[in-house]
Amino acid sequence: MPEAVKLTLLAIAYLSFKHAIADFVLQIGYMHRNKGRYGHPGGILHAFVHALLTAPVFLIVPASQELMGAILAGEFVLHYHLDWMKEQITKGAGWTPVDAPFWYAIGVDQFLHMLTYIAITGLLIAPPL
């Protein structure tokens, strides 16, 4: 298997694992309850945890300081706003875990986060311009 393929798969596997840890293990009630309040420290802290745990991917695929900074900032901003948007949609519609659309929204949210990790990996693997 080509080295670039191995690095790609390893990076995506790491980012998927870190997402599960940050979203389902480290996300405390304070974060979860406040992600829908724009600018609330709980949502900011949750997005920061995601960005912080993204950083070890650079041990798998090294990058310039500029690219690392851009990726971490992008992860923070995107994660924050994806979560905020999901909260706006689910709470605005009054959906709860007993409603099927609530779970559709969770699924779309998780899918968009995974697309973020594919994009991060693409930025890391792609040859510099």
pLDDT at 1: 84
Give which of 18, 20, 49 is closest to 35, Cα–Cα. Answer: 49
**Which contacts (CB < 8 Å, 24+ apart) does range 59-62 have?**
60/7, 60/10, 60/11, 60/14, 61/7, 61/11, 61/121, 61/124, 61/125
pLDDT for the residue numbered 52: 98
Are the beta carbons of 51 and 75 closer than 8 angstroms?
yes
Per residue in 9-46, pLDDT (tens digit) is 999 999 999 999 999 999 999 999 999 999 999 999 99
pLDDT digits (tens, 9 = 90+) for 53-100: 999 999 999 999 999 999 999 999 999 999 999 999 999 999 999 999
Residue 128 above 90 pLDDT? no
Q: How many CA atoms lie within 13 A of 70 on its CB side?
A: 10
Global pTM value: 0.94
